[in-house]
């Protein structure tokens, strides 16, 4: 997953890609470290056209605030520039995959 370094970079990624998964995390989040590889694997196997990015909330607090991110991990999925899915704290990979599948199939299949 590409690490975002500025608000401008994040805006550009959303504008230039039909589908973006933003993984909001912090350095202290142990759940984030376990979940991130599972999310990356799910994307590469099932949703190859989704651009995955990571946002370190402790390094970009203004970006986290702009998207109302209050806890980590939070995953926000954008389709055609619109926030479509938001998952925070405790959720399952299968649950996330099922929600992404609906929008992904409409856009890419």
Q: How many CB atoms lie within 10 A of CB 46?
A: 12
pLDDT in tens, 28-41: 999 999 999 999 99
How many domains would you assign to the chain?
1
0.85 surpassed by pTM:
yes
CATH code for the domain in which residue 71 is found: 3.40.30.10
Domain that holds residue 52: 2-108
Residue 74 has pLDDT above 90, yes or no: yes
What are the angstrom distances between the C-alpha of 30 and each of 1, 34, 37?
A: 17, 7, 13
């Amino acid at each position: 997953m590409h690490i975002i370094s500025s608000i401008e970079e994040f805006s550009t990624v959303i504008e230039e890609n039909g589908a973006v998964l933003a993984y909001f995390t912090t350095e202290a989040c142990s759940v984030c470290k376990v979940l991130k590889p599972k999310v990356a694997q799910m994307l590469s196997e099932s949703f190859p056209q989704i651009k995955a990015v990571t946002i370190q909330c402790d390094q970009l607090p203004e970006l986290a605030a702009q998207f109302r991110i209050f806890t980590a991990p939070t995953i926000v999925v954008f389709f055609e520039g619109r926030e479509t899915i938001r998952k925070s704290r405790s959720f399952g990979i299968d649950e996330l995959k099922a929600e992404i599948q609906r929008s992904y199939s409409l856009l890419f299949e």
